[in-house]
Amino acid sequence: MVVSTKAIVISSLKYAESDLIVTCYTEVSGLKTYLLKRILSSKRGKLRTSHFQPLTQLEIVAFHKDKGTLEQIREAKVIIPYQTLHTNILKGTLVLFISEVLKNAIHEESNDVSLYKYLTDSLNWLDVNDEIANFHILFLLNLSSHLGFFPDHSTVEHSYFNLLEGNFQNKETNKYCKQGTLIEYFKLFFGINFDIMSQIKMHKKERLELLNLLLEYYQLHLHGFKKPKSVLILNQLFR
């Protein structure tokens, strides 16, 4: 079946001498993986290697067999040319981090228009803004809502956050209960958007601890989720 859809590139991997295997999150078909034959050696084809950088937003015409095999892309064009995401070193590292998170977190082929919109809105905001130190924290928190395990913050006034249960409690009930300054910072991220997140002032150490808290939360609630390797680079760049 020939499908025309918007798509976000999640990852690309060289295969054989001149092929690419590209995974995209598409607006109409969810997660899809494509084999792009001879793209690395062709100079006159309809597809360009530059189209398949991580998190590039495309309009594609693809052939979907929907049998769990590698699909084919016939045409692709960039629909949102980024100004800074692939040139700014800080944002480029965030791009690697986000692409790793999405690769680990999204496994369903069914489409989710709300998730697709959240991803595009987040990437477009990141591209044109500079106060981004807290971006990955808020991105992860809000992404968990679309993945089905957003924390219950109806009792956010309580001192403990239970990573396993995903809620706030007034006492410690298991080894996954955390309290202290870190949890007080965590509470500040509920109910805000990217435009005001820079008002939350944290030191590098606190931001790292909060990021690790969220990644541990993901590991508890997403089967097979692995801590992104790019975290190490991310922690070195943000202060």
Q: Provide the token pair at 217.
A: 């939360």
User: Which of 20, 48, 78 finishes a domain?
Assistant: 78
Bridge partners for 33 per DSSP:
23
Determine the structural domain holding residue 114 and report its residue range.
89-237
User: Which of 43, 59, 78 finishes a domain?
Assistant: 78
Which pLDDT does position 17 carry in this prediction? 86
Contact 80, 27 (CB under 8 A): no
Q: Is residue 158 part of a domain?
A: yes
Report whether pLDDT(187) > 70. yes
Residues 98 and 206 in one domain: yes
Residues 65 and 93 in one domain: no
Which pLDDT does position 234 carry in this prediction? 79
pLDDT digits (tens, 9 = 90+) for 97-144: 999 999 999 987 788 999 999 999 999 999 999 999 999 999 999 999
The mean pLDDT value for 64-85 works out to 92
pLDDT confidence band for 239 (50 / 70 / 90)? low
Which pLDDT does position 218 carry in this prediction? 98
Chain-centroid distance of CA 103 in Å reads: 8
| H-only helix segments in 106-222 | 113-128, 135-147, 181-187, 204-221
Which pLDDT does position 238 carry in this prediction? 65
The mean pLDDT value for 175-181 works out to 97
User: Which of 58, 78, 98 finishes a domain?
Assistant: 78
Chain-wide mean pLDDT for the chain?
93
Report whether pLDDT(15) > 70. yes
Residues 219 and 104 in one domain: yes
pLDDT digits (tens, 9 = 90+) for 137-163: 999 999 999 999 999 999 999 999 999
Residues 63 and 93 in one domain: no
Number of domains forming the structure of the chain: 2
